[in-house]
Amino acid sequence: MAKTPDGFVSLKSLKQGPSSPRDTLALLRRIYFKTKKETIEHDFAHAIELLKSLETEEEREKATAYMHGLAELRKEWSARKNVHSRKGHRAK
């Protein structure tokens, strides 16, 4: 069986969801620390779904730092990707 890439989360876990808010926050933390350029889009979407599953404002506030961090990584890596893709195109 092929090894799954770091940061990959199965669809099954998305459907079942973590068993508690504490588990959800732990999963958000793990996603934040394991995300890579190659997985950021998937990881960001997964983190948003996890955030939606948190029921109280207090729980969502605890997730804020991870969400901000993922958003910044996504922004930074997307900007670099766009700059690199533009370098190959010359103005006509």
> Residue 28: inside a domain, yes or no?
yes
Give the domain extent around 49. 13-83
The per-residue pLDDT string of the chain (92 residues; one tens digit each, 9 = 90 and over) reads 556 555 566 655 556 666 799 999 999 999 999 999 999 999 999 999 999 999 999 999 999 999 999 999 999 998 876 666 666 655 54
> Residue 5: inside a domain, yes or no?
no
> Residue 4: inside a domain, yes or no?
no
> Residue 76: inside a domain, yes or no?
yes
Check: pTM over 0.95? Answer yes or no.
no
The total number of structural domains that make up the chain: 1
> Residue 6: inside a domain, yes or no?
no
SS (H, E, C) the chain: CCCCCCCCCCHHHHHHCCCCHHHHHHHHHHHHHHCCCCCHHHHHHHHHHHHHHCCCHHHHHHHHHHHHHHHHHHHHHHHHHHHHHHHCCCCC
Q: What is the pLDDT of residues 40-62, one digit of tens each?
A: 999 999 999 999 999 999 999 99
> Residue 38: inside a domain, yes or no?
yes
